[in-house]
Amino acid sequence: MTTIAELPPGFADKVLSAQSTFRSVMDAMARPGAVQRIVPMAGAPGPMMRGTAAIALTLFDHDTPLWLDARMAESSDLVKWLKFHTGAPVVQDCSIASFALISDGTAPPLDRFALGTSEYPDRSTTVIIQVDSLASGRGFELRGPGIDGVATLQASIKPFDLFERLRVNEALFPRGIDVVLVADDAVVAIPRTTRVVSKGS
């Protein structure tokens, strides 16, 4: 059994690191498809990447129910680390989650997550997906608010049909799912307003 003292540490400088990480995530949301770097590094437990750990320390708290995929939920160190550093309650029901963490590409159908309401479209799940790379892989062309013309993203993503799945957003707007892709310390946001117009092989 791992004790709390043996778990990876959180941020060395809580306030500055959280501010810097928050800025990286907000910049990613404002410029969909553009790769941002998360500079402050936290120790990451088990199957969690360093960037994901920094986002968790910045955005999760006792008011943000959290859904974990099977690989993350099975890591007792990771669950303990999240509980100790963020206090976020881990829930089994993804339809009430504020955040979802996906580490191995197996995601439930996206319409099972919280999609927000017409009055409160922000009450939806932000899905954070760890991917192999945000610098190589298939090419995707993105359009939408925050993108000047077309943004090109190269990424190795699982689930492979993620962008097809995100089409669910088109019919739901202003409700919908926002996705954050993380590859180690790199982060890319695909907000619900972003559309994939084409992709290479």
- Per residue in 11-52, pLDDT (tens digit) is 888 889 999 999 999 999 999 999 999 986 778 888 999 999
Residues 6+ apart with CB under 8 A from 86: 56, 57, 60, 61, 62, 64
Q: What sign has the CA pseudo-torsion 34, 104, 20, 44?
A: negative
Q: Edge-to-edge strands of the sheet including 99-102?
A: 36-37, 186-190, 178-183, 126-130, 99-102, 66-68
pLDDT at 132 (0 to 100) = 95
Q: At what angle do helices 50-59 and 14-30 cross, to 10 degrees?
A: 100
Mind listing the pLDDT tens digit for each residue in 157-185? Answer: 988 899 999 999 999 999 999 999 999 99
Cα angle at 101 between 97 and 47, to 5 degrees? 145
* pTM reported for the whole predicted model: 0.94
The C-alpha angle with vertex 158 and arms to 194 and 7, in degrees rounded to 5, equals 105
Q: Please state at what angle helix 76-86 crosses helix 50-59, rounded to 10 degrees.
A: 40
What is the per-residue pLDDT for 105?
84
Q: Give 79's contacts (C-beta < 8 A, 6+ positions apart).
A: 68, 72, 73, 90
Give the model confidence (pLDDT) of 79-136 as tens digits: 999 999 999 999 999 999 999 999 988 889 999 999 999 999 999 999 999 999 999 9
